[in-house]
Structure 1
Amino acid sequence: MAFGKRKNDVRTSEPAPEEAPAPAVEPDGDLVGPFDIEDFDDPALALVGRHDLGAVLIPENEAAELAVEVNQQGVPTMAWMVTSNGRYNVTAYAAPKAGSLWREVVTEVAESLRNEAAEVSIQDGPWGREVVGHMTNGPEPVVMRFIGVDGYRWMVRGAAVGSPATAEAIAQDLRNALSDTVVRRGDTPQPVRNMLPLQLSEALIGRLRARAEQMMAEQAAQADQPEQPPEPPVPAARRSEQGTAMQQLRTITGG
């Protein structure tokens, strides 16, 4: 993978504390993401093997399916990678050049989870502190994990949701995604903490549409098959006093 000069490499006249955090380095010396789009000599290379979601390009995952939430106007609001272990997403936010936003957000996320009656712990991860919340006030226990990485004028936040049995597996899925995510911050001034826009490329829209048509065709084919005994009913998710775990996730993250 070809990389170009990072923005923070040209700011040699600024004091050291203002520099963006250096990318993590593996034992063999290779860079570990998240990356900035300007890390690439050819930005088109950043699209290879990644879903183009506008401000973030997240790696494709053969074991996951991309699911996009839209509002009533049809505007995408959140993109999830859904796996057998649970689901995860990666979003980007405008941040100060000093790259210290996650340090503030960690405390706020932990406090919000506690307010939702979650058992909260702070754990060390590859990029620093991770917030883990165990939610037990719904129909089934849920584990939420939040991982943040500060960059130059942006912060990436990953969120993973799974059951206690799959919590570690979905957390690793999220870490793998973050390590190969690319951020397309852009030069437009943005208020700090503002979520950078989620936009689907035409190619991705086409793939999602094709997948939806395939699913409809499969459902139609199943409808033509002889009727089978009904499956046991799946208990519907019930609201807790604070709402479902997914609603709590949306409230906590501002998504």
Structure 2
Amino acid sequence: MFGRRRHKDTPASVVEEAEPVPARESGPWDADEPHPERERVDLGGLRLPVDAGFEVQLNMAGDRIVGAVVLFQESALQVQAFAAPKKSGIWDDVRSELAEAVKSAGGTSEEQEGPFGAELAAQIPNGGAVQPVRYLGIDGPRWFLRAAISGRAALDAGVAATLENVVRDIVVVRGDEPMAPHEPIELRLPAEARQPGEQEGPGRRKSDLNPFERGPEIAEVR
């Protein structure tokens, strides 16, 4: 009897394990999966799409680069990548934490459906005014990408579409090293922006970080 049960159950198990994982139709992309080629700034853990008219700033935590900001038409897109568990996403938890943080700051937020699924639309007090911010989250294979759209694009769908397309074309380079969930994936200054013998410190001038003749300008923000 036991032998017959094992024989009967085995094909179902084999079929279940062999079932292919559907390929994603759009990004953000994992570095190990096929993705469209286009011009991107190589920041190490992120490859960020660039176009003429963009200004790119780097978010610093001490001496570490932990995020990037794309400025476009009175709008900002901030992106950060984090490590995540292998078998589960963290956007649901992060979204709840963001809603609590907005509330603690005296703002309001509500969930809405966006181009990447559930997102958080927030109204945050800022210098006597209220700033609208859209928080987007995408769970990838062992990584999580968080994006925040603010400024004109938070209300103007046309400008927002340009920044949403930036998110779709981001490539995340998670790497194989062990990382705790929620740990930021460290970024680095692109090679084009580093001059031989140049100090990579806060004394660097903003103009020194512009490796593009007609493209985005790269600067640090702390």
Task: Please list every run of 5 or more consecutive structure 2 residues that lacks an aligned counterpart in the other structure.
Answer: 1-14, 196-203, 211-221
Bigger Cα displacement from structure 2, 164-173 vs 175-184: 164-173
Distance 1:108 1:92 in 2: 16
What SS class does the counterpart of residue 57 from structure 2 fall into?
A: strand
Tell me, yes or no, if structure 1 residue 39 matches structure 2 residue 43: no
Distance 1:144 1:175 in 2: 14
2:179 alignment counterpart: 190
Tell me, yes or no, if structure 1 residue 90 matches structure 2 residue 85: no
Higher relative contact order (CA 8 A, sep 6+): 2
Distance 1:60 1:164 in 2: 17
Deviation for aligned residue 1:60? 0.6
What percentage of aligned pairs have identical amino acids? 29
CA shift in 2, pair 1:21/1:162, >3 Å: farther
Bigger Cα displacement from structure 2, 32-41 vs 182-191: 32-41
Deviation for aligned residue 1:78? 3.2
1:176 alignment counterpart: 165
Distance 1:13 1:192 in 2: 28
1:66 alignment counterpart: 56
CA shift in 2, pair 1:40/1:108, >3 Å: same
Match of 1:119 among 82, 85, 108: 108
What SS class does the counterpart of residue 79 from structure 2 fall into?
A: strand
Task: Trace 1:76-225 onto structure 2 (pairs within 5 A).
Answer: 76-163=65-152, 166=155, 168-169=157-158, 171-205=160-194, 212-213=207-208
Distance 2:172 2:209 in 1: 31
Distance 1:195 1:62 in 2: 28
What SS class does the counterpart of residue 141 from structure 1 fall into?
A: strand
2:198 alignment counterpart: none
Counterpart contact for 2:137–2:145, Cα < 8 Å: yes
Deviation for aligned residue 1:102? 0.6
Distance 1:123 1:183 in 2: 25
Counterpart contact for 1:158–1:174, Cα < 8 Å: no
Tell me, yes or no, if structure 1 residue 57 matches structure 2 residue 51: no
Counterpart contact for 2:108–2:124, Cα < 8 Å: yes
* Structure (1 or 2) with the greater helix fraction: 1
Distance 1:39 1:108 in 2: 30
Q: RMSD across aligned C-alpha pairs, in angstroms?
A: 3.2
What SS class does the counterpart of residue 62 from structure 1 fall into?
A: coil
Counterpart contact for 1:120–1:134, Cα < 8 Å: yes
1:236 alignment counterpart: none
Task: Please list every run of 5 or more consecutive structure 1 residues that lacks an aligned counterpart in the other structure.
Answer: 1-11, 24-30, 216-254
Distance 2:209 2:109 in 1: 41
Distance 1:144 1:113 in 2: 10
Distance 1:165 1:99 in 2: 29
CA shift in 2, pair 1:58/1:91, >3 Å: same
Q: How many residues align?
A: 189
CA shift in 2, pair 1:98/1:187, >3 Å: same
AA aligned to 1:35 is W
What SS class does the counterpart of residue 101 from structure 2 fall into?
A: helix
Counterpart contact for 2:75–2:150, Cα < 8 Å: yes
**TM-score of the two chains, using structure 1 as the length reference:** 0.63
AA aligned to 2:178 is P
